[in-house]
A and B are shown apart, each in its own frame.
Chain A
Amino acid sequence: MIEGQPFFRFDWLVDNLDQLARRLGEHLLVTFIAVTVGFLISFALALLIRRYPPIYGPILAVSGILYAIPSIALFVLFIPITGLSLLTAEIALVSYTLVILVRNIVTGLRAVPSDVIEAARGMGYTDTQRLWRVELPIALPIIVAGVRIATVTTIGLVTIATLIGMGGLGYLIVNIGVTRRFPTATITGVVVVVLLSTIVDLLLLAVQRRLTPWAKAREA
């Protein structure tokens, strides 16, 4: 902190709202790509696991190891191959979402009661129809719960992406806040990250309630 400066300078914040908006936009974009790609891959893996259950253990083990690698390490491990690029950041972020999403999608599908599946069979549903019309709707709350955790986790992890030049809110925390010894920027960055996590989490919860009104009715 530079001597004699207040801890938080609102004038800086007001003067830099455009920069804040830009960093927020970068942050959201990187997060959105990671969760979307992570979800598509996890969904495909979960369908594979639904068909061939024995591969669940190995898939879980591999994604678990990926999850145990610290983000700072995973963010830079692929630099020799993919350089300082968005792809490098996304490889790390997507890897982290896999362990959460695969587990929740598979668990959600497996939690479908067997008599429900029997009933669907009895009504003449094909395997694909049963998946889309019976199993996935019932699994939806658990799947969305996974998406919420994956999204909030990713929002936190994206702050590190600034170290490999990908901007985002981490830019305010590190490149301005720490490097230039300017706490106002750090605090702004952290507060916005926390608010963003909370708001996105609540939005996803609202989406889930809209999609599965019966789940709420049962709770009450």
Chain B
Amino acid sequence: MEFFGEVWAWYTDPANWTGNNSIPLRLWEHVSLSVASLLAGLAIALPVGLYIGHTGRGARMVVAVSNIGRAVPSLGWLGIAYPISTGLFQRGGIGFLPAFIGLIALAIPPVVTNTYSGLQEVDADLREAGRGMGMREMELLARVEVPVALPVILAGIRVSAVAVVATAPLAALVGGGTLGSYILQGLALSDEVRVFAAAVLVALLAIFTELAFAWLQRRAVSPGLSRPDDEPLADPSQVARPGEFASS
């Protein structure tokens, strides 16, 4: 119990609330890095997923690449991004950039595969009906395929978002700050209080992200379309499928 007292003291220590190693600053680094990486990842993954899902072109290759991408451990992405960002941008070796590149790479595969498979699962009769109503390809995509596939697409975005928030602490390894800084500092200094306090913050942030996206998923999907089997952790009847478990 004494230990938890020390953890509480760490949270409430004024020294941890100001300066260049403060909780608000680390939290801001964490959130801004995560949001930027997720948005950039979506900007790449959604068009690719929509294109191959709609046309079926290049599907095999993209999905194969995505699956290999998923086998790369989260730590691996940051490790690979580090020399790449140093090579591409002379001064970009340390800090935000390598973490950003690594997290983008991490965010892409779940969104591409889910968007693709979501569109693939759209009933062929619905497509035919849309075409019969005179819809052009883009209309068909926007008004039939995407709305029907939305739960699966959002499930992919949720997996990506949680993976990014959960992996962002590793950015500290490449000088990218985030709440992970405290964990590395604590490990280096054998300061168990700091390690534990930061780990709790990271865990809360990830769980919050999971719940927020689950809520968004429910809100965004019309009741007629909501499929309970897209709630991976809540529904007992579903078998674990590889895609659900991005290693975070």
Contacts and interface: CB of A to CB of B under 8 A. Distances in A.
Contacts, number: 162
Contacts of B75: 159-160, 170, 173-174
Interface stretch (B42-50, B54-62, B77-85, B218-226): B77-85
B248 A186 contact: no
B239 A107 contact: yes
B174 A72 contact: no
14 contacts: A1-B86, A69-B206, A70-B206, A72-B183, A73-B166, A76-B199, A77-B196, A103-B236, A103-B238, A103-B240, A153-B245, A155-B73, A159-B73, A197-B71
Interface residues of B, number: 51
Interface string A142-185: 10011001001101110110011000001001100110010100
Contacts of B192: 79-80
Contacts of B82: 177-178, 181, 183, 186
Interface of B: 3, 68, 71-76, 78-80, 82-83, 86-87, 93, 162, 165-167, 169-170, 173-174, 180, 183-184, 186-187, 192, 195-196, 199-200, 202-203, 206-207, 210, 233-234, 236-242, 245, 247-248
A68 B195 contact: no
Given A153-B245, A159-B75, A69 B236 contact: no
Interface of A: 1, 7, 56-57, 60, 64-65, 67-74, 76-77, 79-80, 99-100, 103-104, 106-108, 142, 145-146, 149, 152-153, 155-157, 159-160, 163-164, 170, 173-174, 177-178, 181, 183, 186-187, 189-190, 193-194, 197-198
Contacts of B3: 80
Nearest to A111: B239
B39 to A, nearest CB: 20
B169 A7 contact: no
Contact of B76 (A68, A69, A159): A159
A65 B238 CA distance: 17
Contact of B236 (A57, A73, A155): A57
Contacts of B165: 70
A56 B234 CA distance: 11
Given A73-B169, A104-B239, A198 B83 contact: no
